[in-house]
Structure 1
Amino acid sequence: MTSPPLSDLTVVKRAGRIAAVQASVALALVLLVVGGVVFAVYLRAQNRQIGAELRTLAMTADDANDPPPDMELALRENNGHISTSDGGEPGVPLLTGATGFSDIHANGREYRTLVVDRPEGRVVAMTDLAPYHAGRNRLLMALGFAELAGILASIAVVVLLSRRSVRPLANALALQRRFVADASHELRAPLTVLHTRAQMLAHRVGTADVRTLQKDADALVADTRALGDIVDDLLASATMAARKQARDRVDLSAVAMSVRDSMASYAHSIGVTVNLECESADGTAGFDVIGSAAALRRALTALVDNALGHVHHGGTVELRVRRDGAKVTATVADDGVGIDPDAMATLFTRFSHGAEHTTREGREPYGIGLALVREIADAHGGDIAVASKPGEGATFTLTLPAAPPA
Structure 2
Amino acid sequence: MTSSSDLAVVRRAGRIAALQASLALTAVLLLVGAVIFLVDGQVQKQQIADQLTSVVGTADDVTDPPPGMQLVLRDLAGETSASADGLPTAELLGREPGFSDIRIGDESYRVLVADRPEGRVVALLALKSYEASRNRLLLALGAAELAGILASVGVVVLLTRRSLRPLTEALALQRRFVADASHELRAPLTVLHTRIQLLARRFDDGDAHRAKEQIEALAADTRVLGEVIEDLLASASMASKGVPRDRVDVADLAEDVRASMSEHAASAGVTLAVNRDADAATAFVVLGSAAALRRALTSLVDNALAHEHAGGSIEICLRRRGPNVVIDVRDDGVGVDPDAMEGLFARFSHGHAHTAAGGRERYGIGLALVREIAVAHHGDISVAQTPGGGATFTLTLAAAPPG
Q: 1:26 aligned to 2:24?
A: yes
Q: 1:345 aligned to 2:342?
A: yes
Task: Report the alpha carbon displacement of residue 63 of structure 1 after superposing the two structures with TM.
Answer: 3.1
Q: 1:235 aligned to 2:233?
A: yes
Deviates more, 1:147-156 or 1:64-73: 147-156
Instruction: Give CA-to-partner distance per residue, 1:343-371, whole Å, 9 cap, x none.
Output: 532343346678999xxxxxxx9976653
In the other structure, the counterpart of 1:282 is none
Any idea what SS the aligned residue of 1:12 has? helix
Give the Cα separation in 1 of the matches to 2:295 and 2:193. Answer: 27
C-alpha contact (below 8 Å) 2:374/2:395 kept by paired residues: no
C-alpha contact (below 8 Å) 1:91/1:126 kept by paired residues: no
Q: 1:372 to 1:308 in 2, by over 3 A?
A: closer
Give the Cα separation in 1 of the matches to 2:331 and 2:52. Answer: 103
Point out where structure 2 has 5 or more consecutive residues left out of the alignment.
Answer: 260-272, 305-312, 355-361
In the other structure, the counterpart of 1:63 is 61
Task: Report the alpha carbon displacement of residue 36 of structure 1 after superposing the two structures with TM.
Answer: 1.0
Give the Cα separation in 2 of the matches to 1:56 and 1:237. Answer: 85
Question: Pairwise mapping of residues 353-364 of structure 1 onto structure 2 (< 5 A)?
Answer: none
Task: Report the alpha carbon displacement of residue 72 of structure 1 after superposing the two structures with TM.
Answer: 1.3
Q: 1:113 aligned to 2:108?
A: no
In the other structure, the counterpart of 1:92 is 93
Any idea what SS the aligned residue of 2:123 has? strand
Q: 1:258 aligned to 2:260?
A: no
Give the Cα separation in 2 of the matches to 1:369 and 1:116. Answer: 101
Q: 1:161 to 1:190 in 2, by over 3 A?
A: same
Give the Cα separation in 2 of the matches to 1:236 and 1:58. Answer: 89
Corresponding letter in the other structure for 1:272:
N
Deviates more, 1:22-31 or 1:152-161: 152-161
Residue from 250, 272, 276 that aligns with 2:275: 272
Instruction: Give CA-to-partner distance per residue, 1:144-165, whole Å, 9 cap, x none.
Output: 5765675566557645764675
C-alpha contact (below 8 Å) 1:111/1:129 kept by paired residues: yes
C-alpha contact (below 8 Å) 1:230/1:366 kept by paired residues: no
Any idea what SS the aligned residue of 2:13 has? helix
Deviates more, 1:101-110 or 1:12-21: 101-110
Instruction: Give CA-to-partner distance per residue, 1:149-184, whole Å, 9 cap, x none.
Output: 755665576457646755764575466446535643
Deviates more, 1:202-211 or 1:11-20: 202-211
Give the Cα separation in 1 of the matches to 2:165 and 2:202. Answer: 55
Give the Cα separation in 2 of the matches to 1:169 and 1:115. Answer: 72
Residue from 96, 99, 102 that aligns with 2:99: 102
Give the Cα separation in 2 of the matches to 1:353 and 1:224. Answer: 28
C-alpha contact (below 8 Å) 2:329/2:393 kept by paired residues: yes
Deviates more, 1:45-54 or 1:135-144: 135-144
In the other structure, the counterpart of 1:180 is 178
Q: 1:394 to 1:63 in 2, by over 3 A?
A: same
Q: 1:73 aligned to 2:63?
A: no
Give the length in aligned residue pairs: 355
C-alpha contact (below 8 Å) 2:274/2:317 kept by paired residues: no
Instruction: Give CA-to-partner distance per residue, 1:90-131, whole Å, 9 cap, x none.
Output: 55357x95xxx622447685524274969x887543213355
Q: 1:369 to 1:9 in 2, by over 3 A?
A: closer
Give the Cα separation in 1 of the matches to 2:348 and 2:176. Answer: 11
Q: 1:317 aligned to 2:314?
A: no
Residue from 374, 382, 385 that aligns with 1:386: 382
In the other structure, the counterpart of 1:360 is none
Give the Cα separation in 2 of the matches to 1:259 and 1:44. Answer: 88
TM-score by length of 2: 0.61
C-alpha contact (below 8 Å) 1:72/1:88 kept by paired residues: no
Point out where structure 1 has 5 or more consecutive residues left out of the alignment.
Answer: 1-5, 279-286, 288-292, 323-329, 358-364, 401-406
Q: 1:63 to 1:366 in 2, by over 3 A?
A: closer
C-alpha contact (below 8 Å) 1:340/1:354 kept by paired residues: yes
Residue from 201, 214, 239 that aligns with 1:216: 214
Q: 1:124 to 1:347 in 2, by over 3 A?
A: same
Task: Report the alpha carbon displacement of residue 138 of structure 1 after superposing the two structures with TM.
Answer: 5.8
Give the Cα separation in 2 of the matches to 1:15 and 1:34. Answer: 29
Instruction: Give CA-to-partner distance per residue, 1:311-350, whole Å, 9 cap, x none.
Output: x78874135684xxxxxxx542448459847353234334
C-alpha contact (below 8 Å) 1:112/1:128 kept by paired residues: no
C-alpha contact (below 8 Å) 1:335/1:393 kept by paired residues: yes
Q: How big is the alpha-carbon RMSD for the aligned residues of Structure 1 and Structure 2? A: 5.4
Corresponding letter in the other structure for 2:206:
A
Any idea what SS the aligned residue of 1:72 has? strand
C-alpha contact (below 8 Å) 1:259/1:301 kept by paired residues: no
Give the Cα separation in 2 of the matches to 1:302 and 1:188. Answer: 12
In the other structure, the counterpart of 1:403 is none
TM-score by length of 1: 0.61
Q: 1:80 to 1:105 in 2, by over 3 A?
A: same
Deviates more, 1:172-181 or 1:84-93: 172-181
Q: 1:245 aligned to 2:241?
A: yes
State percent identity of aligned pairs.
46
C-alpha contact (below 8 Å) 1:31/1:151 kept by paired residues: yes
Give the Cα separation in 2 of the matches to 1:152 and 1:29. Answer: 13
In the other structure, the counterpart of 2:14 is 16
Corresponding letter in the other structure for 2:99:
S
Corresponding letter in the other structure for 1:345:
E
Instruction: Give CA-to-partner distance per residue, 1:22-42, whole Å, 9 cap, x none.
Output: 223212211221211221232
In the other structure, the counterpart of 1:42 is 40
In the other structure, the counterpart of 1:283 is none
